[in-house]
Chain A
Amino acid sequence: MNLPKELKYTKDHEWVRIDGNVATVGITDFAQRELGDIVYVEIETEGDEVEEGEVFGTVEAVKTVSDLFMPLSGTISEVNEALEGEPELVNTDPYGQGWMIKIEVADESAADNLLSADEYAEVIGQ
């Protein structure tokens, strides 16, 4: 299971890359494997201010649908438009081209509450 050390994680199987006050968010390798082939990523919250823990979109796999939760409070400044035409990027490159949103984080210190790679590995029993 691929779990890059430099990333932060959530119990909802999202990863977060912190760069100043901008957080890039996607779903983990574990999550994409559990979901199977992803066929549709629906995020209609661009420009919105969304609280931590709230739903910012949904991801549809062939067999199942799953909500996407905000790992940190802030404003959704960008949505990965490539996923519109190629949602399978979430399967093939979950930590790279399969990223989903960028957040202008409201409170940078909140990132300290996210999980490390080791802590997340425990969550998924690896």
Chain B
Amino acid sequence: MELKKTALTHIHEQLGAKMVPFAGYSMPVRYTSDMEEHKTVREGVGVFDVSHMGEFMVTGPGAEALLQQVTSNDVSKLVDNQAQYSCLPNDQGGIVDDLIVYRFNAEKYMLVVNASNIEKDWNWIMQFADGREGVNMENISDEISLFAVQGPKAVEVLQKLTDIDLSTIKFYHFIEGSFAGVDEVIISGTGYTGSGGFELYVPNAVAEEVWKKIFEAGKDYGIKPIGLGARDTLRLEMGFCLYGNDIDDTTSPLEARLGWITKFNKEFTNSEKLKEQKEAGITRQLSGFKMVDKGIPRQGYDITDAEGNIIGKVTSGTMSPSLGYGIGMGYIKKEFTAPGTEIFIAVRNRQLRAEVEKAPFYKAQ
């Protein structure tokens, strides 16, 4: 299968990025060094091309009711120009995808979904949208580019390109307006790094122009393009879930510590069963841990107790570039999930000592 390109693929290649297939797209995994790119976002400003992400518009008087049905968080809590992290529960106790819901107004929403799940999500939501009155869905994924400009210096750099006072856009809020000479750019106070900044939704036709202007504006700030490699280490230092690793069709939002976006004051797909699970109590829980012994946890490694009994499995793991030791997450038997509990990670033929720790692992200075 031919890999899809974003509007910026040729630029990444010119920059000498290592390109890898990801969710059907050819995407930059790193330009120079994972460590350096990671550090750039933590201390300065970096730009990710995440145009592979999917966007669906949901419009009409029935839009809110549809979203209340398919998402686990409470859409009625949103005001105009606010966004919300949420998930699409399936009817088997698992998660179809995690996503962000943007409210433009009471009859206009945008859903931002994972690239690898665009078709799955579309078909899933359509089951509930079909035959419903007053709601229209449109998949605009192939028309929109998405840049995440992240880091403590992001606001200062981006402010040079717009008259909108960016300091007024709070976390998980957004404004649609003129940016870098382009009208109707969505400037969103989101990102998945824990270092602040914005995400910009831009029409493909002007994506290259906007990308170049951002780099010009950031030249004196040491701005750099950042690959998916650093994106993964940044999100993992914050303990953020990655669909496909930490959550999937078989993991319950309650097990994944996504109870805070699972609102039982409304009915939604599988809410009855999830409510029962909440009342009965879960038996395993997605938990963060840090390595005490030298070693790096990786997806799929067994987690054991001191006697070597398997008590869980690693879903994400890495060397933390900010902290200098191995960190990870995994589903662990509930009785071993209290912070400070000693656990062991089976790294090749050895049992390496680790300790349960509450995320985020990295705390901004």
B35 on interface, CB distance cutoff 8 Å: yes
Number of chain A residues close to chain B: CB under 8 A: 13
Contact assessment for B34 and A63 in the assembled complex, using a CB-CB cutoff below 8 Å: yes
User: What separation, in Å, do the CA atoms of A33 and B19 have in the docked complex?
Assistant: 12
The contact string, 1 if C-beta is below 8 Å from chain A, for chain B 23-44, is 0000001100111001000000
Contact assessment for B321 and A62 in the assembled complex, using a CB-CB cutoff below 8 Å: yes
B132 CB, min distance to chain A CBs, angstroms: 43
The contact string, 1 if C-beta is below 8 Å from chain A, for chain B 124-164, is 00000000000000000000000000000000000000000
Q: How many A-B residue pairs have CB under 8 A?
A: 37
Given A62-B34, A62-B35, A62-B229, A40 contacting B298 (CB threshold 8 A): no
User: What separation, in Å, do the CA atoms of A60 and B29 have in the docked complex?
Assistant: 17
The contact string, 1 if C-beta is below 8 Å from chain A, for chain B 243-279, is 0000000000000000000000000000000000000
Contact assessment for A36 and B33 in the assembled complex, using a CB-CB cutoff below 8 Å: yes
User: What separation, in Å, do the CA atoms of A60 and B291 have in the docked complex?
Assistant: 15
Among the listed B18, B233, B294, B348, which residue makes an inter-chain contact with A62, where contact means beta carbons less than 8 Å apart?
A: B233
The contact string, 1 if C-beta is below 8 Å from chain B, for chain A 31-74, is 00110110110000000000000000010111101000000000
B188 on interface, CB distance cutoff 8 Å: no
Residues in B with CB closer than 8 Å to A60 are: 296, 319
- A64: nearest residue on chain B (CB-CB)? B298
Q: Which of A36, A40, A60, A91 has the most CB of B within 10 A?
A: A36
Q: Secondary structure of the B side of the interface?
A: mixed
Contact assessment for B33 and A37 in the assembled complex, using a CB-CB cutoff below 8 Å: yes
Contact assessment for A65 and B34 in the assembled complex, using a CB-CB cutoff below 8 Å: no
Interface size class on chain B is 10 to 19
Contact assessment for B319 and A40 in the assembled complex, using a CB-CB cutoff below 8 Å: yes
Residues in A with CB closer than 8 Å to B69 are: none
User: What separation, in Å, do the CA atoms of A34 and B19 have in the docked complex?
Assistant: 10
Contact assessment for B318 and A62 in the assembled complex, using a CB-CB cutoff below 8 Å: yes
Residues in A with CB closer than 8 Å to B18 are: 33-34
Residues in B with CB closer than 8 Å to A61 are: 34
B232 on interface, CB distance cutoff 8 Å: yes
User: What separation, in Å, do the CA atoms of A62 and B233 have in the docked complex?
Assistant: 8
Subset of 26 A-B contacts with CB under 8 Å:
A33-B18, A34-B18, A36-B30, A36-B33, A36-B34, A36-B229, A37-B33, A37-B34, A37-B321, A39-B296, A39-B319, A40-B295, A40-B319, A58-B348, A60-B319, A62-B35, A62-B38, A62-B229, A62-B233, A62-B318, A62-B319, A62-B321, A63-B29, A63-B229, A65-B296, A65-B298
Q: Which A residues fall within an 8 A CB radius of B? A: 33-34, 36-37, 39-40, 58, 60-63, 65, 91
Given contacts A39-B296, A62-B321, A63-B34, 19 further A-B contacts (CB under 8 A): A34-B18, A36-B33, A36-B34, A37-B33, A37-B34, A39-B319, A40-B295, A58-B348, A60-B296, A60-B319, A61-B34, A62-B35, A62-B38, A62-B233, A62-B318, A62-B319, A63-B232, A65-B298, A91-B33
